[in-house]
Amino acid sequence: LAKTTQPISMDSYEGQEVNITCSHNNIATNDYITWYQQFPSQGPRFIIQGYKTKVTNEVASLFIPADRKSSTLSLPRVSLSDTAVYYCLPRRGNTPLVFGKGTRLSVIA
């Protein structure tokens, strides 16, 4: 599976839109991109998954350009409760997820 690179940490004020970009230069043709959120003392929680272009759900949007070498998770109007670690992960069929270091997002009042 492709190696991913994302910022170690980000800070944001409440109410702002947060964009976390992940690079995955060597992503394979049949890999999807998934994003997970993890709070302290909890397991990772699935947020969103996409293959190309844009995917939106009630929590976030995911933008994947045509070359698929990067993806951007967009969190609209963050609140203090969005403070967590966010992981970008390529996903392929039956292959288990392999976690990188993730991005620690701190939302400030």
Partner 1 sequence: SAVISQKPSRDICQRGTSLTIQCQVDSQVTMMFWYRQQPGQSLTLIATANQGSEATYESGFVIDKFPISRPNLTFSTLTVSNMSPEDSSIYLCSAGGGADNQPQHFGDGTRLSIL
Please tell me whether residue 101 binds partner 1 under the rule CB under 8 A: yes
**# residues contacting partner 1 (CB under 8 A):** 21
Query: In sequence order, what are the beta bridge partners of 12?
Result: 107
Please tell me whether residue 50 binds partner 1 under the rule CB under 8 A: no
What's the CA gap between 33 and 70, in Å, rounded? 9
| Residue 5 CB partners (closer than 8 Å, separation 6+) | 22, 23, 24, 100
Residues 51-90 interacting with partner 1 (rule: CB under 8 A): 87
Which of 11, 69, 77, 98 is in the footprint of partner 1 by CB under 8 A?
A: 98
Q: Is 44 or 60 the residue whose CB approaches partner 1 more closely? A: 44
Which of 16, 21, 23, 49 is in the footprint of partner 1 by CB under 8 A?
A: 49
Q: Up-side HSE of residue 45: CA atoms within 13 Å toward CB? A: 12
Please tell me whether residue 42 binds partner 1 under the rule CB under 8 A: yes
State the Cα angle at 13 between 12 and 17, rounded to 5°.
Answer: 70
Binding site for partner 1 (CB under 8 A): 32, 34, 41-46, 49, 87, 91, 93-102
